[in-house]
Amino acid sequence: MAKLEIHNLSVEYTLKRTNQSVLALQAVDLTVQNGEFVAIVGPSGCGKTTLLNLVAGLWPITQGKIHLNGRPVQGPGNDRAMVFQTPALLPWRTVQANVGYGLTLQGYSRLETQARTQRFIELVGLAGFEESYPHELSGGMQQRANLARALAVEPALLLLDEPLSAVDAQTREILQIELQRIWLATRHSALYVTHQIDEAIFLADKVVVMATRPGRIQAVIAVDLPRPRPLSIKRHPAFIALSEQIWQLLQRDVSFPRMEH
């Protein structure tokens, strides 16, 4: 379990071709408590992926600070694992070998790798598909494998970048329930990026609302709904009020596409 502290983080990209600079993140402050599930919503281009990449240590920090358990983040580490938007499974490896990939890279023994791999394959509901190749799985199942691979290294902090954005609406709701079940079983600290307001509220202890140009945090909204939450909670007045509040915040951001009905 871990406490993540992001302090005054700014990121500027310089486009090589035009030599223009884009302020992707501006003065971001954010804390994720031990065992807390924090969701980030925001229009595309507001720097959500950038933020996760920095926390994951995949991009250098030039302004501001990120601390995990009191230690500054410098590059990737065993204390964090990322679930990517595209499942990024190795196509020539079976589910089992894919779930064990992170463990192998981090030098775990074959025995330990095997035991943990099996445990997390079962946890994400992929038992019976150990010997399948990624192309034999549906998109939803690929994401389960992707999640199991990240969970298997037992990271202090789990980073998830729109993990459900590529699956269809029905599968998405099933996986939301599954994610909650898995999270309740593991209680990882989690930083979860999503496009969808209802997904953020459903899963999170608090929702971070971002704005674009420059990418920044507009508001942090606590979600005090009891767990485990059934899907029907999405029709609860408290849930609807929260989603209305976040919707209003996002609407203020001019570049967020307005929805007509």
Ligand X SMILES: Nc1ncnc2c1ncn2[C@@H]1O[C@H](COP(=O)(O)OP(=O)(O)O)[C@@H](O)[C@H]1O
CB of 186 to other proteins, least distance (A): 15
Cα gap 60→70, rounded to integer Å: 18
| 58 binding other proteins? (CB under 8 A) | yes
Identify the three-state secondary structure at position 151.
helix
Site string for Mg ion, 31-70 (x = CB under 5 A): ------------------x---------------------
Say how many residues touch ligand X, by CB under 6 A: 13
Identify the three-state secondary structure at position 100.
coil
Choice between 12 and 122, CB closer to other proteins: 122
Neighbours of 13 (CB within 10 A): 14
Tokens representing residue 180 in the block: 């909650």
Torsion-angle region of 11 (φ positive above 0: left; ψ -120 to 50: alpha; else: beta): beta
Cα gap 229→225, rounded to integer Å: 8
Residues of span 47-66 touching ligand X by CB under 6 A: 47-50
Choice between 157 and 221, CB closer to other proteins: 157
Q: Are strands 157-161 and 189-194 parallel, antiparallel or unpaired?
A: parallel
Say how many residues touch other proteins, by CB under 8 A: 45
Applying CB under 6 A, among 24, 32, 55, 83 the residue interacting with ligand X is 24
| 22 binding ligand X? (CB under 6 A) | yes
Cα gap 93→165, rounded to integer Å: 24
CB 256 within 8 A of CB 226: no
Residues of span 207-236 touching ligand X by CB under 6 A: 215
Cα gap 118→116, rounded to integer Å: 5
CB of 209 to ligand X, least distance (A): 12
Choice between 83 and 250, CB closer to other proteins: 83
Choice between 49 and 218, CB closer to other proteins: 49
| 48 binding other proteins? (CB under 8 A) | no
| 174 binding other proteins? (CB under 8 A) | yes
86 exposure class (CB count in 10 Å sphere: 0-12, 13-18, 19+): middle
Give the position of tokens 């990121």.
11
Applying CB under 6 A, among 9, 28, 39, 46 the residue interacting with ligand X is 46
CB 228 within 8 A of CB 196: no
Site residues (vs Mg ion, CB under 5 A): 49
Site residues (vs other proteins, CB under 8 A): 56-58, 75-78, 80-82, 84, 86, 88, 90-94, 101-102, 104-106, 122-127, 133, 135, 138-141, 144, 153, 167-168, 170-171, 174, 177-178, 181
